[in-house]
A and B are shown apart, each in its own frame.
Chain A
Amino acid sequence: MAVVTAAARVLGSSRGLGQDGLLLLRRLGVRGLAISHPQRQQQRFSSLDDKPQFPGASAEFIDKLEFIQPNVISGIPIYRVMDRQGQIINPSEDPNLPQEKVLKFYKSMTLLNTMDRILYESQRQGRISFYMTNYGEEGTHVGSAAALDNTDLVFGQYREAGVLMYRDYPLELFMAQCYGNVSDLGKGRQMPVHYGCKERHFVTISSPLATQIPQGEDAHPGPAVGAAYAAKRANANRVVICYFGEGAASEGDAHAGFNFAATLECPIIFFCRNNGYAISTPTSEQYRGDGIAARGPGYGIMSIRVDGNDVFAVYNATKEARRRAVAENQPFLIEAMTYRIGHHSTSDDSSAYRSVDEVNYWDKQDHPISRLRHYLQSRGWWDDEQEKDWRKQSRKKVMEAFEQAERKPKPNFSLLFSDVYQEMPAQLRKQQESLARHLQTYGEHYPLDHFEK
């Protein structure tokens, strides 16, 4: 309901014609009860009526020339539950989650933070080739992951490690992927942070941006929609969630993905992490409209904007979106406003394009971890002593996993040739055998002991 009211407010103020706004809303509402056949927009023809008959839109005539003004000064409002000090603003919006669950939120976010620090450093020391941190966005990951079922399919972009963390992906496997060692499920074929886990329904990250959107995978929104379509067909109580940044939303794939999700009526949640930057491109250069949430209604998609640093706001919005996406077979768009505190990746130095003061503000004054800690402390569920202990413990866990990962060998070199096709073609098998023979003779000149036998 909040979405609808917010939309009404935006539409009402910018168009100055409440009636049209109401008609649009009514169509959105009816949409939710639509059956499997796409809604046709034709009205019954009657030559006596001076009403519009166009198949393309359901609207009234107007005889005043007026352009719709995009509202970017007072955009779609941002839903939040806690203030910046972690205090609940409106008690009726408090999800009242049990202590155990909220502690899990906190521990997932902080463990991720600790792992990020250590792996970032390890790249700097030349131990892994590349890394991307999640600083400042932990709330978006954990809040949304907690609101989903464990079997809901996740398509990420590359800054959603917290979703996996919340789903109990072991540190050992995070590290294995970054090191490309023998325990890596992906057999060491991807750059670091390109995690994937079939068991936890987290589709392998792939680099081309926005391609997860249509798939319901990788920065291509399209595949996400495809997977959601498959889920709908199977009548599974299952939703697909597709994460992407505000920069990836500029890709053509995003447009196609949104449009298809709406026309094919798929149970999918589009979750946009609007963190202010796409590498060095600030949002002011990325788009001129009111962010990503404002695009949703353009496709006929229910949309909301939330405070991404407020883990309860993210949780509430995702929970409700999930419930309705499955019940009504329609897509939802959640734009989580947040801030990317870290550099884009280890290949970036963000001091080249933003001030240290700006970054410090977010780190010190509006951080999802601090806000949740204040909430926990005010409930008496956490204190400084536990904080100290947990910091020590989590660091120790990460360091242990890290040291183990470094010591493990790399996958066997003959895996170079497998999985190109389901069945290995004769040519590749010949090359695989040829390599094996070569190593039998000249193996001493190669670092074979770094690889699994």
Chain B
Amino acid sequence: MAAVSGLVRRSLEQVTVREAINQGMDEELERDEKVFLLGEEVAQYDGAYKVSRGLWKKYGDKRIIDTPISEMGFAGIAVGAAMAGLRPICEFMTFNFSMQAIDQVINSAAKTYYMSGGLQPVPIVFRGPNGASAGVAAQHSQCFAAWYGHCPGLKVVSPWNSEDAKGLIKSAIRDNNPVVVLENELMYGVPFELSSEAQSKDFLVPIGKAKIERQGTHITVVSHSRPVGHCLEAATVLSKEGIECEVINMRTIRPMDIETIEASVMKTNHLVTVEGGWPQFGVGAEICARIMEGPAFNFLDAPAVRVTGADVPMPYAKILEDNSVPQVKDIIFAIKKTLNI
């Protein structure tokens, strides 16, 4: 709980994504007193999703701040604090609510360094759960990877497992640019093994570098956030049929590590992208466009295929909701279609 950071670290410890983010923030709060967290319910309540559990108790009112219900208001305040030299972590209860503050994120945070001629940096982190949850319907289930990934001046990261979550939140906090950290509510409670290296206080996952989670030779499957897990499941199933998938965990949406994807496609000659967000103007669309613009295009033996969320506002009925996000069977289907099997 609050004593997570004080736990005796054994090698290969099981840590949930929630705990990993908590540890990451705890370590950065300890390391630099300019870092602070603000958002709704982050203090005494330990966070709406308990991600900031124990932090208020440890750091107090000055470092962990509860705000009134105004995303526009507290995002603005966080940006102002960043401009004045502090390093805020601004939590949105979900990124759906960030739409109320999006002007501050884009116009005040993302563009300011450029528009001030390099005079005014904004070292801020916007974080919170993004994308589909379970049974929360359309206004609480949107994925914002494409929206924020669109904007120059912002960095956007999307962790999948605990190592990603801890390393990326730490890198984001230490980065002097505005960084959007898109977490996933359904992943918060999922435990992963954290190597002893990843447990160290200086462990960082670099922003802008993808990770190859599984090596393969027949097809490149690229994804970010929760769907990475689905891709690995699909890869396990297909392996029994003799199809070896190379699964890439993007980790960063912007700046995108297209080089890793290109190198993989040049090896496997096939590409499938998987994301939870809507298809139009999405992450997969950007990957396909860039593959076409680069050297990997000549190595494709088949058109790239995108597996995405359904192009509808998220339904509420469970059976419809389940079928509105990519499932393992959809990924397998797309892979087989691309490989013409």
Residues of chain A touching chain B, judged by Cβ–Cβ distance below 8 Å, are: 36-37, 153, 155, 184-187, 189-190, 194, 196, 198, 203-204, 206, 208, 211, 213-218, 220-231, 233, 252-253, 255-257, 259-260, 263-264, 418-422, 425-427
Which residues of B80-136 have CB atoms within 8 Å of chain A's CB atoms?
80-86, 88, 103-104, 107-108, 112-121
In the complex, the answer to whether A260 meets B83 with C-beta atoms within 8 Å is no
Q: Report whether A211 and B118 are in contact in the complex, using a CB–CB cutoff of 8 Å.
A: no
Q: How many A-B residue pairs have CB under 8 A?
A: 170
Contacting residue for B81 out of A206, A229, A253, CB 8 A: A229
Min Cβ gap A428→B in Å is: 9
Can you show 17 pairs from A to B with CB atoms below 8 A apart?
A185-B119, A203-B120, A204-B120, A206-B115, A215-B76, A217-B80, A220-B76, A223-B77, A226-B77, A229-B77, A230-B84, A252-B72, A253-B72, A255-B70, A419-B116, A420-B113, A420-B153
Q: Which of B76, B120, B121 has the most CB of A within 10 A?
A: B76
Given A196-B120, A260-B73; A230-B85 close (CB under 8 Å): yes
In the assembled complex, the CB of B287 is this many whole angstroms from the nearest CB of chain A, namely 14
Q: Which of A203, A222, A227, A257 has the most CB of B within 10 A?
A: A222
Question: Which residues of chain B are near A194, meaning CB under 8 Å?
Answer: 115
- Chain A nearest CB from B123 CB (Å) reads 9
- In the complex formed, the residue of B with least CB distance to A211 is B108
Q: Which residues of B contact A224 (CB under 8 A)?
A: 80
Please state if A223 and B152 are interface contacts (CB–CB under 8 Å). no
| Contact (Cβ within 8 A) A37 B61 | yes
Does B78 sit within 8 A of A, measured CB to CB?
yes
- Is B11 close to A, CB under 8 A? no
A153: contacting residue among B84, B88, B118, CB under 8 A: B84
Cα(A419)–Cα(B114), bound, Å:
5
Given contacts A198-B119, A214-B80, A425-B255, contact A222 B104 (CB under 8 A): yes
Query: If A214-B74, A225-B80, A257-B76 touch, does A206 touch B107 (CB 8 Å cutoff)?
Result: yes
Known: A37-B61, A203-B120, A220-B108. A215 touches B153 (CB 8 A): no
Given contacts A196-B120, A226-B77, A226-B80, contact A218 B114 (CB under 8 A): no
Interface contact A211-B76, CB-CB below 8 Å? yes
Residue of A nearest to B86 (CB): A230
Q: Would B120 and A215 count as touching, CB distance under 8 A?
A: no
- Beyond the given A222-B104, A256-B76, please list 13 additional residue pairs across the A-B interface where CB-CB is below 8 A: A186-B117, A194-B115, A203-B120, A208-B107, A211-B103, A211-B108, A223-B80, A226-B76, A226-B80, A226-B82, A230-B80, A253-B73, A419-B116
Indicate if the CB atoms of A196 and B119 lie closer than 8 Å. Answer: yes
Q: How far, in Å, is A227 (CB) from chain B's closest CB?
A: 4
The 10 A-B residue pairs with the shortest CB-CB distance in the complex, in nearest-first order: A222-B76, A226-B80, A256-B73, A214-B76, A223-B80, A215-B80, A230-B84, A226-B77, A187-B117, A226-B81
Contact of B73 with A214 in the complex, beta carbons under 8 Å: yes
- Shortest Cβ distance from A426 into chain B, in angstroms? 8
Q: Whole-angstrom distance from the CB of B224 to the nearest CB of chain A?
A: 19
Q: Which partner residue on chain A sits nearest B106 by CB separation? A: A208
**How many Å lie between the Cα of A203 and that of B115 in the bound state?**
11
Contacting pair B152 A420 (CB below 8 A): yes
B83 and A189 contact, CB distance less than 8 A = no
Q: Is the CB of B84 within 8 A of A216?
A: yes
Most buried by B among A198, A211, A215, A419: A215
Whether, in the assembled complex, B196 has its beta carbon less than 8 Å from a beta carbon of chain A, the answer is no
* Least distance between A229 CB and chain B CB atoms (Å): 6
Kindly provide the distance from the CB of A83 to the nearest chain B CB, expressed in whole angstroms. 39
* Interface presence of B218 (CB below 8 A): no
Is B62 engaged at the interface, CB distance under 8 Å to the other chain?
A: yes
Q: Which residues of B contact A215 (CB under 8 A)?
A: 76-77, 79-80, 83, 104, 108
* C-alpha gap A68/B108 in the complex (Å): 39
Chain A residues near B74 (CB, 8 Å)?
A: 214, 222, 256, 260
Contact B68 A227 (CB under 8 A): no
Residues of chain B within 8 A of A252, CB atoms compared: 70, 72
**Pair A208/B103 contact, Cβ less than 8 Å:** yes
Chain B residue at minimal CB-CB distance from A242: B80
A253 to B120, CA, bound (A): 21
Which among A185, A189, A257, A420 has the greatest number of chain B C-beta atoms within 10 A?
A420
Q: Are B73 and A217 closer than 8 Å at their CB atoms?
A: no
List B contacts of A256 (CB < 8 A): 68, 70, 72-74, 76
Contact partners of A36 in chain B: CB under 8 A: 61
Smallest Cβ-Cβ distance to B175: which chain A residue? A422
Question: Which B-chain residue is minimally distant from A415 (CB atoms)?
Answer: B117
Q: How far is the CA of A222 from the CA of B72 in the complex (A)?
A: 8
CB of B75 within 8 A of chain A?
yes
Contacting residues, chain A, for B65 (C-beta < 8 A) = 264
Determine if B116 and A226 form an interchain contact, defined as CB atoms under 8 angstroms apart. Answer: no
Residue B177 CB within 8 A of the other chain:
yes
B84:A231 contact, CB within 8 angstroms: yes
Cβ of B77 and Cβ of A214 under 8 Å apart? Answer: yes
Cβ-neighbour of A230 out of B70, B81, B108 (below 8 A)? B81
Interface centre among A186, A206, A228, A230, by most chain B C-beta atoms within 10 angstroms, is A230
Q: Which of A227, A419, A426 contacts B83 (CB 8 A)?
A: A227
A421 near B153 with CB under 8 A, answer yes
Set A227, A253, A260, A419: member contacting B118, Cβ < 8 A: A419
- Contact present for A214 and B104 (CB under 8 Å): yes
In the complex, whether B226 has a CB less than 8 A from a CB of chain A is no
The answer, among B68, B76, B121, for a CB contact under 8 Å with A221, is B76
Q: Give the Cβ gap from B256 to chain A, nearest Cβ, in Å.
A: 9
Instruction: Write out the residue numbers on chain A whose beta carbons fall within 8 Å of the beta carbon of B118.
Output: 187, 418-419
Chain B residues with CB under 8 Å of A233's CB are 62, 86
